[in-house]
Amino acid sequence: MTTIYDQISSNKRETIVIMFAFVIVVTLLAFFFGEVFVGEGAGYPIMIFAVLFSSVSSVSSYYFSDKIALKITLSEDLLLEGDFRALIRKIQQARKVNNLNVGDKIDLQYTLDQEKIINTFKVEIVKITNVVDFIKSDVFNVIKR
């Protein structure tokens, strides 16, 4: 039976092999391009640069990949803004279903899960949808004023 420690050791070994293979491939490609495109004998200096570049690149990605992954994930603010846009669409769809015109003033019945969005974007919601009053409810609905 494989323990978690065996799996960690295996992952570290595989990572080192992948890093080493990356350095070799980049180095050989740099040597090849230096010889073919720059001229005979130019592959060696370019190869030295490639070894340094690929080594630094692979080691830094090994140690800093978690920070890189965190930076490309969606922040709480972006998720909240996406929820805001979805709520606007929902309000507009409810207007359509209730045969309301764009200019009609409405009261918005909202549910508990929409409260944070409404508190954050209340001014924008009023501007876009002509909401006059926000009413906490068990169901989502728009009511003509």
**10 shares its domain with 35:** yes
**85 shares its domain with 140:** yes
DSSP annotation of 130: -
What is d(CA 43, CA 8) in angstroms, rounded to the nearest whole number?
A: 38
- pLDDT tens readout for residues 55-69: 999 998 888 877 776
**32 shares its domain with 56:** yes
**18 shares its domain with 54:** yes
Q: Which residues pair with 106 in a beta bridge?
A: 131, 144
**84 shares its domain with 99:** yes
How many angstroms separate the Cα of 114 from the Cα of each of 59, 73, 117, 123, 144? 44, 23, 5, 15, 20
* H helix or E strand, kind and range, residue 69: helix 43-72
What is d(CA 133, CA 119) in angstroms, rounded to the nearest whole number?
A: 13
pTM: 0.53
**65 shares its domain with 80:** no
**83 shares its domain with 136:** yes
- pLDDT tens readout for residues 89-143: 999 999 999 999 888 999 999 999 999 999 999 999 999 999 999 999 999 999 9
pLDDT at position 70 over 70: no
**93 shares its domain with 129:** yes
**56 shares its domain with 85:** no
Domain limits at 62? 4-72
**25 shares its domain with 64:** yes
**57 shares its domain with 90:** no
Q: Which residues contact 98 (CB under 8 A, 6 or more apart)?
A: 142, 144
Report the pLDDT value the prediction gives residue 81, as an integer from 0 to 100. Answer: 92
72, 93, 112: which is the final residue of a domain? 72
Cα three-residue angle 75-76-81, rounded to 5 degrees: 100
**51 shares its domain with 104:** no
72, 87, 121: which is the final residue of a domain? 72
Cα three-residue angle 84-144-112, rounded to 5 degrees: 40
Task: Please report, in angstroms and rounded to a whole number, the separation of the first and last CA atoms in the chain.
Answer: 68
37, 72, 107: which is the final residue of a domain? 72
73 by DSSP, 3-state: which? coil
- What's the number of domains the chain is made of? 2
